[in-house]
Amino acid sequence: MKKFPRSAYIHIPFCHRRCFYCDFAVIPLGNNIESLNGYGSTTIKEYLTFLKKEILSIKHKSPLSTIYIGGGTPSILDPLQIKDLINLFKENYRIDYGAEITMEVDPASFNEDDLHGFIKAGINRFSLGAQSFNNKILKQAGRRHCSKDVEKSCYWLKRVYDNGLIKSWSLDLIQNLPMSSFKEWQEDLKNSLKFYPPHISIYDLNIEPGTVFQKLIDLGKLSLPNDDDSFKNSEQTNLLLRASGYSRYEISNYSLPGHQSRHNRVYWTGQGWWSFGQGSTSSPWGEKFTRPRISKEYKNWVIKQCEIKLDSSLVNQENIYKELDEKIMLGMRLREGVNIHKLINEQNWNKKKSEIALIKLLKEWERFLESGLLIKRGNRFSLSDHRGMELSNQILISMFKWWEKVN
């Protein structure tokens, strides 16, 4: 019997404004949003109506063990609106006892009363999108908040965690932002460790097409750290966080014992998940489907989906699975890596094809094993910490070339 997804992602697309590096499906509403009855509330309420319709459109489901409310800026919503969403899942899907229920929050988009309201609504884990503690860096990145907002938010989160009101919280930073030299980055890390968050996510800046940063680069008006400086930053990050008790369990994520993100591990280990909301991507049975990124198109899709089951990827089907290259790519992000023999055997190839494919992949990876970027333990392959994780693209590119040949 095929298992139904036990995890759900909910996309809240609203932001005060779009950051200069952002290409997500977001709807900027300005600085003076009042989500219940003020400016922007009509837009928000209309979106939530369609979001709820989509959530209710799934007829066959299992109780959820993780829920993740992301965006955008979910903390723009009122705690009552968050409570309505969680109750919708409780009543129609059921939520496991001890489930991880995470919500992204953005400094300057919530206050301490809001935080307690979100906790009462059912949130037990928060992910704080700080990005930096440096005012100049934040301004250069188009962020709305300042360093004082980050510090206040960290203080509130630390206090509710220390008092046992939440299970965990994460501090998110972006490495290699403009104006973030080695000195500034070290200060960001030291400021983060003052609050000792149980989980820290550190993302490398990616320049995406259509963003303000991409336009500035095209005009020659944006200076970013070079590859050597980026590697130096990352190397020092790894050393400092390890010395502070954190384990690097995934390329971009560090945690204290017992505080890994259960929801994100669903993605990396290739398990199925539901996803709801404009621009979000679901993969309940292995086949991915991304909803329309434009509001009008998303609403039309929800109407048709509810009427005629427009997208087949949301219907329980047999013999749907992720491509092997994607399974390897996602699994290799984790510290434990992947069991290559097991993944190849799951392809249902004949014995000869499986053996040839494995020999060719090991040949591709031979140089990485010799250089120490890749580690082999029995049938399991993993990236070394720190160099393997930092240079993982080299290993993955060789894997994709192998996949093109055998596929």
pLDDT class of 20 with cuts at 50, 70, 90: very high
**What's the total number of domains in the chain?**
2
Q: Say if residue 125 is in the same domain as residue 37.
A: yes
- Residue 82 counted as domain residue: yes
Same domain assignment for residues 254 and 357: no
- Whether residues 52 and 188 share a domain: the answer is yes
Domain finish residue from 251, 268, 285: 268
Tell me what pLDDT residue 315 has.
64
**Predicted pLDDT at 361:** 92
161, part of any domain = yes
In this model, does residue 313 exceed pLDDT 80?
A: no
Q: What percent of the chain has a predicted confidence (pLDDT) above 70?
A: 96
Residue with tokens 């494995």: 358
Q: What is the pLDDT of residue 1?
A: 40
pLDDT tens column, 93-113: 999 999 999 999 999 899 999
- Quick one: what percent of the chain has pLDDT higher than 90? 72
Burial 189-228 (b: 16+ CB within 10 A, else e): bebbbebbbbbbbbeebeeeeebebbebeeeeebeebeee
Structure-model confidence comparison of residues 319 and 13, the more confident one: 13
Same domain, 264 and 389: no
Which pLDDT belongs to residue 406? 83
**217: domain CATH number?**
3.20.20.70
The yes-or-no verdict on residue 176 having pLDDT over 60 is yes
Give the model's pLDDT for residue 332.
93
Give the end of a domain, one of 268, 286, 312. Answer: 268
Say if residue 262 is in the same domain as residue 156.
yes
What band does 312 get if pLDDT is binned at 50, 70 and 90? Answer: low
Instruction: Tell me the pLDDT band of 130, cut-offs 50, 70 and 90.
Output: very high
Q: Which tens digit of pLDDT belongs to each residue from 256-266?
A: 999 999 999 99
Q: Please tell me the pTM assigned to this model.
A: 0.93
Are residues 376 and 244 part of one domain? no
Is 1 domain-assigned?
no
pLDDT of res. 317: 58
On whether residue 319 sits in a domain, the answer given is no
Please say if the pLDDT value at position 399 is more than 50: yes
Whether 257 and 108 map to the same domain: the answer is: yes
Does any domain span residue 205?
Answer: yes
- Under a CB-based contact definition with an 8 Å cutoff, are residues 175 and 230 in contact? yes
List, in order, residues 6 or more apart from 111 with CB less than 8 Å away.
none
pLDDT digits (tens, 9 = 90+) for 182-199: 899 999 999 999 999 999
132 — pLDDT class (breaks 50, 70, 90): very high
Q: Is residue 228 part of a domain?
A: yes
Mean pLDDT, residues 218-245: 89
Identify whether residues 115 and 180 lie together within a single domain: yes
132 within domain boundaries: yes
* pLDDT mean across residues, the chain: 92
Which residues 6+ apart lie within 8 Å of 122 measured at CB? 82, 83, 86, 87, 101
Q: Is the peptide bond before 72 cis (omega within 30 degrees of 0)?
A: yes
For residues 73 and 189, membership in a common domain is answered with: yes
**Residue 280, in any domain of the structure:** no
For residues 119 and 227, state if they share a domain.
Answer: yes
Gap between the Cα atoms of 363 and 399, Å rounded: 10
Residues 260, 330, single domain; the answer is no
Q: How far apart are CA 263 and CA 272, in angstroms?
A: 11
Residue 343: give the domain boundaries.
324-406
331 shares its domain with 262:
no
